[in-house]
């Protein structure tokens, strides 16, 4: 078994292919509109009538303003809302649950601006004097900017959206997926880094992992696994979780996977076994007991008696038999873990991967 890179094109879902937008704000738009309006206009030489030439100048200015706003805001209005639920949830997390509001408000700007432009184009064209054409075109720009101002409060999330898009891995939909979950500091990233192509940051501080990280493992020619590193989850109700924990919950809830629930049985673990068992219960309430495999990590620093004692606790308090004890740090039993996880996956999804490796 080896960590290996594979072709990203292979039946993969990539957020950056679907969500393409660049951050902008009302102020950016306002400045650009004023700049466009002030630009010199060059009239087509075939318009000879002096009055028409003066009027046309304003039509062209406003047409440019309209074209700019339509293009700028349409890229937001066209953001997809029928995404894979995992991706949709990540975007909701990035926008404090305002992703759909953002798209709706951009659609509103485009629709109202288009309507205004239809009206004002006629008005400006029919202006009897240059002064009136000037007044009408300024009125158009003023009204358009006011529409943008009133409907752009969610644009402030665009920055966070682009960050999320950049940080979100592609999902290969046809591969078995194994999520590694647990409290902060149990060694999730160390494990994922050891077995897969992903190289997540490891450190002795909680919430080192701030987003979902995905790695690939080649089990044999043509058989690959996806391994998902998740941020740590604390012992508290799902509704009270912070945005980092919510990303772990999004992976658990929306990816078709099995979950390795990693525990640190050390007596001086960052979080004690009671909290770790409470979080196991939370994870169970999201994915269901049948999709969970409980694994002890850091076995290199825990004596046998302690392991046995903790196994009993897990059995008696949470009702799970601990499947394996590993050391993500030195690699002890990690290959076994992959095989066991795959067996669980096959049992849940009716596949036969573990027989083919
Ligand atoms: N002794 C020992 N230390 C380990 C083992 N696995 C991880 N560690 C250490 O535990 C600490 C936390 O490891 P991480 O892999 O960052 O833990 P995590 O669960 O990803 O933590 P968060 O990202 O904060 O949720 C680091 O100091 C690792 O070196 C292990 O098997 N044995
Ligand atoms: Mg981590």
Taking only the tens place, the pLDDT of each residue in 227-261 is: 999 999 999 998 999 999 999 999 999 999 999 99
CA–CA dist 184, 204 (Å, integer): 9
CATH 3.40.50.300 location in the chain = 175-356
Q: Indicate the average pLDDT of the chain.
A: 95
The model's confidence at residue 9, banded by pLDDT at 50, 70 and 90, is low
**Percentage of residues in the chain having pLDDT higher than 90:** 88
| Ligand number nearest to the C-alpha of 206 | 1
Sign of CA dihedral 176, 182, 184, 188: negative
The model's confidence at residue 4, banded by pLDDT at 50, 70 and 90, is low
The model's confidence at residue 23, banded by pLDDT at 50, 70 and 90, is very high
Alpha carbon distances (Å) from 270 to 182, 183, 212:
12, 9, 21
**Percentage of residues in the chain having pLDDT higher than 70:** 97
**41 pLDDT exceeds 90?**
no
Structure token digits, residue 198: 């992903």
Taking only the tens place, the pLDDT of each residue in 72-105 is: 999 999 999 999 999 999 999 999 999 999 999 9
The model's confidence at residue 45, banded by pLDDT at 50, 70 and 90, is confident
Name the more confident of 255 and 221.
Answer: 255
CATH domain 175-356 topology: Rossmann fold (3.40.50)
Greatest alpha-carbon span in the chain: 99
CA–CA dist 336, 324 (Å, integer): 8
| Cβ atoms of 229 and 188 closer than 8 Å | yes
| Cβ atoms of 20 and 85 closer than 8 Å | no
Question: Using the 8-state DSSP alphabet, how is residue 332 labeled?
Answer: B
The model's confidence at residue 50, banded by pLDDT at 50, 70 and 90, is confident
pLDDT of residue 47: 74
The model's confidence at residue 10, banded by pLDDT at 50, 70 and 90, is low
CA 27 to chain centre: 26
Sign of CA dihedral 49, 53, 59, 60: positive
Question: Using the 8-state DSSP alphabet, how is residue 95 labeled?
Answer: T
CA dihedral 16, 20, 21, 22 (to 10 degrees): 60
152: burial class by Cβ within 10 Å (0-12, 13-18, 19+)? buried
Mutate to test the pocket of ligand 1, among 202, 234, 241 (most ligand atoms within 8 A of CB): 202
How many CA atoms lie within 13 Å of 78's alpha carbon, on the beta-carbon side?
11
Element (H, E) at 180: strand 177-181
Sign of CA dihedral 85, 91, 94, 98: negative
**265 pLDDT exceeds 80?**
yes
Mutate to test the pocket of ligand 1, among 181, 184, 185 (most ligand atoms within 8 A of CB): 185
Within 10 Å of residue 71's Cβ, how many Cβ atoms? 10
| Cβ atoms of 348 and 290 closer than 8 Å | yes
**179 pLDDT exceeds 70?**
yes
How many angstroms separate the first and last alpha carbons of the chain? 9
Domain 15-163 classified CATH 3.40.50.800?
no
| Ligand number nearest to the C-alpha of 190 | 1
pLDDT of residue 2: 67
| Ligand number nearest to the C-alpha of 245 | 1
Mutate to test the pocket of ligand 1, among 183, 186, 187 (most ligand atoms within 8 A of CB): 187
Taking only the tens place, the pLDDT of each residue in 190-204 is: 999 999 999 999 999
**8 pLDDT exceeds 60?**
no
Reduced to 3 states (helix: H, G, I; strand: E, B; else coil), residue 254 is: helix
How far is the centre of ligand 1, averaged over its atoms, from the C-alpha of 344 (Å)?
A: 24
Mean per-residue pLDDT for 324-339? 97
pLDDT of residue 222: 85
Single out the residue of 97, 215, 78 nearest to residue 157, CA to CA. 97
Q: Which atom of ligand 1 is nearest to the CA of 186?
A: 19
Residues whose CB falls within 8 Å of the CB of residue 90, separated by 6 or more in sequence, listed in order: 15, 164, 168, 212, 247, 250
How far is the centre of ligand 2, averaged over its atoms, from the C-alpha of 205 (Å)?
A: 9
CATH 1.20.120.1190 location in the chain = 15-163
Single out the residue of 277, 197, 268, 264 nearest to residue 229, CA to CA. 197
Cα angle for residues 29, 153, 145 (degrees, 5° grid): 35
Within 10 Å of residue 284's Cβ, how many Cβ atoms? 18
Q: Which atom of ligand 1 is nearest to the CA of 206?
A: 24
């Amino acid at each position: 078994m080896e960590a290996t890179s594979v072709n990203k094109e292979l039946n993969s879902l990539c957020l950056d292919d679907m969500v393409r937008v660049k951050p902008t704000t009302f102020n950016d738009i306002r400045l650009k509109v004023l700049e466009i309006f002030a630009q010199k206009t060059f009239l087509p030489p075939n318009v000879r009538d002096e009055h028409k030439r003066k009027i046309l100048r304003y039509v062209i200015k406003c047409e440019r303003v309209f074209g700019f706003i339509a293009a700028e805001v349409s890229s937001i209005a066209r953001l997809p809302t029928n995404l894979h639920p995992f991706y949709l949830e990540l975007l909701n997390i990035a926008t404090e649950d305002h992703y759909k509001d953002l798209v709706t408000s951009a659609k509103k700007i485009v629709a109202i601006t288009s309507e205004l432009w239809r009206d004002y184009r006629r008005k400006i064209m029919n202006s009897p004097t240059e002064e009136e054409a000037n007044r009408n075109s300024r009125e158009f720009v003023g009204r358009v900017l006011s529409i943008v101002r009133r409907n752009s409060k969610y644009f402030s999330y665009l920055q966070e959206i682009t960050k999320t898009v950049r940080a979100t891995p592609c999902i290969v939909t046809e591969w078995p997926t194994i999520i590694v979950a647990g409290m902060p500091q149990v060694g999730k990233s160390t494990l994922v880094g050891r077995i897969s192509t992903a190289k997540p940051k490891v450190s002795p501080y909680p919430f080192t992992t701030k987003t979902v990280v995905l790695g690939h493992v080649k089990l044999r020619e043509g058989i690959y696994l996806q391994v998902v590193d998740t941020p740590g989850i604390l012992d508290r109700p799902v509704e009270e979780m912070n945005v980092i924990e919510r990303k772990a919950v999004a992976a658990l809830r929306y990816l078709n996977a099995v979950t390795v629930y990693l525990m640190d049985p050390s007596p001086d673990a960052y979080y004690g076994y009671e909290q770790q068992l409470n979080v196991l219960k939370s994870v169970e309430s999201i994915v269901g007991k049948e999709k969970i495999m409980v694994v002890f990590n850091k076995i290199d620093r825990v004596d046998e008696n302690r392991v046995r004692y903790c196994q009993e606790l897990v059995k008696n308090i949470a009702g799970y038999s601990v499947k394996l004890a590993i050391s993500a740090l030195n690699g002890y039993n990690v290959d076994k873990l992959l095989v066991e996880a795959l067996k669980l996956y096959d049992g849940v999804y009716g596949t036969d991967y573990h027989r083919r490796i």
